[in-house]
Structure 1
Amino acid sequence: MATYDSIGATYADTRRPDPRIAARVRQALGSATSVINVGAGTGSYEPSYTVLAVEPSSVMIAQRPAGSAPALQASAESIPLADDSADAAMALLTVHHWSDLEAGIGELLRIARQRVVVLTFDPGINHRFWLLEEYLPEAAAFDSTRAVAVDRLAMLLGGARIETVPIPHDCTDGFLAAFWRRPEAYLDPEVRAGISLFAQTGDEVVQQGLARLSDDLTSGRWHRRHADLLDRETLDVGYRLLVADL
């Protein structure tokens, strides 16, 4: 499987934090005054009171902006920090990449004193997203091998509350479903380079699906089929915040 050392080189360009999602993350962190970001990537959504980022990929760490919290190159499953190291721990759009989910969640619970916040996606909803359902069903099938059921995640967190995060039509963070109202974006190789599912699905499969999408955009079929999306400001494509109080 591709790693972020090979697929993360353009993340700082295409995965810019969306301020509306950032506000939801800050709200979820509540009264915390120190936070550790696990699976931190390039540092998206880290509040000013982030004290440490934990990230296994040197390529991602190198793209962290100047002035970011210090980064520790380590995996979520084994974090070399003391218990109760910060008020909160957060893990954003990362748990589906972990090799041992139970170990990683255990580490979040161990290093946080007060709260754990996880941003993830509900595969049952996310995999019905038009891009996957209509053009890349093979990618959805692959994603099912790594996706984490939200109910299971909430249970591992000791009974986290689950909040829906609707995605704005002009979302600046280029994750998989961010372009739900901008279908032509998926034809841009730079956009796709910032979406791990494209890198981890066979190129032949991806290109066949994208060729069908291109044809449907040219003919107007996509716009006729999805006319109901064109006036929507936000869409629930399965993204969820889980908040666990310790």
Structure 2
Amino acid sequence: MDAGDLYDRIGAGYAVGRRTEPRIAARIWAALGDAETVLNVGAGTGSYEPPDRAVTAVEPSAVMRAQRPPEAAPCVAASAESLPFADGAFDAATAILSDHHWRDPLAGLRELRRVARRVVVFQWEYAQIPRFWLVREYLPELTASLSGRSSLTERMAALGARAEPVEIPWDCADGFFHAHWRRPEAYLREDVRRATSVWAGVGPVVERRAVAALRTDLDSGAWHARNRELLGLATAELGARLLVSD
């Protein structure tokens, strides 16, 4: 299933649950440097599109495109692996938590490099994901699904990019999978889970088991006993990376 098909199925309501986190946005926008024209690939509902640049969005899902606000950048229905733009058409290109859904992520990243002189990608280092408490303690099935995905080194090579760690604030406004690392009760909420593709990927049986186990551990205090060191942190290093090619 490609990104368009997936988000046509699960993307309703993403505009509510997935919003721009200003502290992460500041890092992304600073990495754009002096770029005046920006291509945003896998643009979704328009989060993280800089308001002071000329942005063109690419989003394959009609459900996601329909949720973009009227003031959002113009949006083209296309796939990352075959961008309908000339070589060097943009000063910069971005992909924000989207390349893991592309049919061929490395080919898509090379396409971004083809159409822009600078590329900025915000994504996770997949090798770090099994260390997140939600995966380690409740969703071990997710670890198996990461097998075969492009490594951070491979993605950096495809872009000719460096990688910078991005710490996630405890009160992150964007509801991506790791966002509630210090707010475990949030994962008990249906609307929170529906705002990320992970839960659709593991399936309803695994989801119900994980949510029930988390609820039991929160009620008993077991979660807090195991993860008490998180409660005093303002930010956490969870494997988020900013890939920047110059």
TM-score range, shorter chain: over 0.9
How far apart are 1:146 and its partner, in Å? 6.3
Q: Determine the C-alpha separation between the residues in 1 that align with 2:44 and 2:130.
A: 24
1:111 to 110, 115, 119: 115
**Within the alignment, does 1:84 sit opposite 2:88 as a pair?**
yes
Distance 1:146 1:244 in 2: 24
Residue 39 (structure 1) aligns with: 42
Say which SS state the counterpart of residue 88 (structure 1) adopts.
Answer: strand
Contact 1:36-1:53 within 8 A present in 2 as well: yes
Assess if the C-alpha contact under 8 Å between 1:168 and 1:233 holds in 2: yes
Contact 2:106 2:150 (C-alpha < 8 Å) held by counterparts: no
How many angstroms does 1:156 deviate by?
A: 0.9
- Asked if structure 1 preserves the Cα contact closer than 8 Å seen for 2:18 and 2:174, the reply is yes
Q: Which runs of 5+ in 2 are unaligned?
A: none
Indicate the SS of the match to 2:164. Answer: strand
Q: Shift of residue 66 of structure 1?
A: 1.7
Report the Cα offset of residue 148 of structure 1: 3.0
Superposition RMSD in Å: 1.2
Q: State the match for 1:141 in structure 2.
A: 144
The structure whose residues are more often helix, as a share, is 2
Whether 2:175 is the aligned partner of 1:171: answer no
Query: How many equivalent residue pairs?
Result: 242
Q: Deviations over 1:54-93 (max 9, x none)?
A: 0100111111112111000111011111111110001110
What amino acid sits opposite 1:97 in the alignment? H
Query: Helix, strand or coil for the counterpart of 1:20?
Result: helix
Partner of 2:12: 9
**CA 1:102–1:12 in 2, change beyond 3 Å: closer, same or farther?**
same
Letter in structure 1 aligned against 2:30: Q
Q: Could you tell me how far apart the structure 2 residues matched to 1:14 and 1:78 are?
A: 29
| Aligned AA (2:10) | I
Q: Distance in 2 between matches of 1:27 and 1:84?
A: 20
> By how many angstroms is 1:205 displaced?
1.0
Cα distance in 2 for partners of 1:154, 1:131 equals 27
Q: Does 1:72 align with 2:73?
A: no
Tell me the equivalent position of 2:229.
Answer: 228
Separation of aligned partners in 1, 2:127 and 2:99: 16
Q: Which amino acid counterpart does residue 75 of structure 1 have in structure 2?
A: S
Amino acid at match of 1:240: R
The aligned counterpart of 1:151 is 153
Contact preservation (8 Å) 2:49, 2:55? no
The letter for the 2-side match of 1:8 is: G
Hey, what's the Cα distance between the residues in 1 that align with 2:143 and 2:208? Answer: 15
